[in-house]
Chain A
Amino acid sequence: MSDLLREQLSALMDGELPHEECELLVKRISNSAELARSWHAYHLISDALRDQLAGRDAEQLAPRVREALTEENTGRFHDAGRLRRWSTLAAGVAVLGLAGLAGSLITRHMDSGKVFAPAGANGTGVSNPVHVDWRSEPQPVQAELSRYLMMHDPYGMTPNASEETPRGAATATPPNKATNERQSKYPQF
């Protein structure tokens, strides 16, 4: 890069460059990394002499903005800070949603006393509709969760254990006294 170009650049930043030289030079700043470096250095010197320095952090801005705009132009999320915040928020909402959904399902199924069986679990190969009593009153989640686990214990006692119920498939019979006594064996959540 010639001295003449850099001298023009120096005059441009002072607003002292003739119009006819200006447009071409501005175009060159866009296209020449070397000219852009001089442009940067001259302004940094000017900022220092005018007590406008913010410090080293400011030097990260141009590359960060360039990267963000490139990402934005290619359809990716541009703002790392915002992306972090949104990711955290989304993760939180997802966890809460899953927990709520799980709690709601367990409460509804267990409280009705008629737990769901997988479709076709009656051995006929024909799907049965899942029976859920939606009018049931919610009970404390911890107790319900323990009951749920107990009901799905493959070694658990069920009132109709003599019947040929597929292993793991639950019956629609409410838990009896024996099963209630087993609750204490499970940790409270």
Chain B
Amino acid sequence: MTKEKTSSADADRLLVKRVQAGDQAAFNALVLKYQQRVLKLVSRYVRDPEEALDVAQEVFIRAYRALKGFRGDSAFYTWLYRIAVNAAKNAIGAATRNPVEGGLDVDDPELMEVQRRMTDEATPERLLYTEELKQTINRAIEELPPELRRAILLREVKGLSYEEIAQVMESPVGTVRSRIFRAREAVAQSIKPLLE
């Protein structure tokens, strides 16, 4: 008999439950998990990096305040995504009321992303950090033993479950779990200096 697994959304739900019980550190775990995604989402709407950061901060604070009423009908990230989009649209309220010249639709994140790239608001320092981080991670992954590299890429890039990876790699699920963990640890060590 296989043990029932907790999905990623279930892990969020457990963290949310802890926040609702008054554990602020559990909310910090949620912020750490979603901070990159939320800022990336907000930056598609809000061009100024400083303002985008303020808006992203506001997103998490609004989420924290509203979390008491969160019943878990949807996944936490789906709920957070809606808060982020609303906050970003509010931040560009004037632009929403008067769409950008050329009829650019601010409701379309893809178009906003194109405009964002065209205006190239990212400073060289910002780009440098992101590029350095990506390169460090890619290099660390290339240097992994083949079975670890394959396991983590099947998980992160292909999105396969441990069961599916076990079938592909013809290995027990426990081995897959261990390989993915060891791959993450090796990569985490390589980016440690960038995070300090």
**Contact residues of A with B, CB < 8 Å?**
3, 6-7, 10-20, 22-23, 26-27, 29-31, 36, 38-50, 52-62, 64-66, 68-70, 72-73, 78-81
Contact = CB atoms under 8 A, between A and B. Distances in A.
Interface of B: 3-11, 14-15, 18, 23-29, 31-33, 35-40, 43, 49, 52-54, 56-58, 60-61, 64, 122, 125-127, 129-130, 133-134, 137, 141, 152-153, 155-157, 161-162, 177-178, 180-181, 184-185, 187-188, 191-192, 195
B129 A30 contact: no
B7 A15 contact: yes
A62 B35 contact: yes
Contacts of B9: 15
Nearest to B40: A54
Contacts of A56: 125-126, 129-130
- Which has the most chain B C-beta neighbours within 10 Å: A31, A36, A40? A40
A39 B29 contact: yes
B134 A53 contact: yes
A16 B184 CA distance: 15
Nearest to A48: B137
Classify the interface of chain B: helix, strand, loop or mixed: helix
A81 to B, nearest CB: 4
A145 B51 CA distance: 43
Contacts of A54: 35-40, 43, 130
B32 A39 contact: yes
Most buried by B among A46, A54, A64: A54
A43 B38 contact: no
Given A53-B134, A66-B31, A81-B57, 17 more contacts: A6-B181, A10-B180, A11-B180, A12-B11, A36-B29, A36-B32, A41-B195, A48-B133, A53-B36, A53-B40, A54-B36, A57-B49, A59-B195, A61-B60, A62-B28, A64-B53, A78-B61
Contacts of B27: 65, 69
A155 B69 CA distance: 71
Nearest to B42: A54
Contacts of A70: 24
Contact of A15 (B8, B24, B31): B8
- Which 3 A-B residue pairs are closest in the complex by CB-CB distance? A54-B39, A15-B7, A30-B25
A53 B5 contact: no
A11 B181 contact: yes
Nearest to A16: B162
Contact of A27 (B18, B57, B137, B187): B18
30 contacts: A10-B177, A10-B184, A11-B177, A15-B6, A15-B8, A15-B11, A18-B4, A22-B10, A22-B11, A26-B15, A30-B23, A40-B195, A41-B195, A42-B184, A45-B191, A49-B141, A49-B153, A49-B157, A54-B36, A54-B39, A57-B53, A61-B35, A61-B53, A61-B57, A62-B31, A65-B27, A65-B28, A79-B57, A79-B58, A81-B54
B18 to A, nearest CB: 6
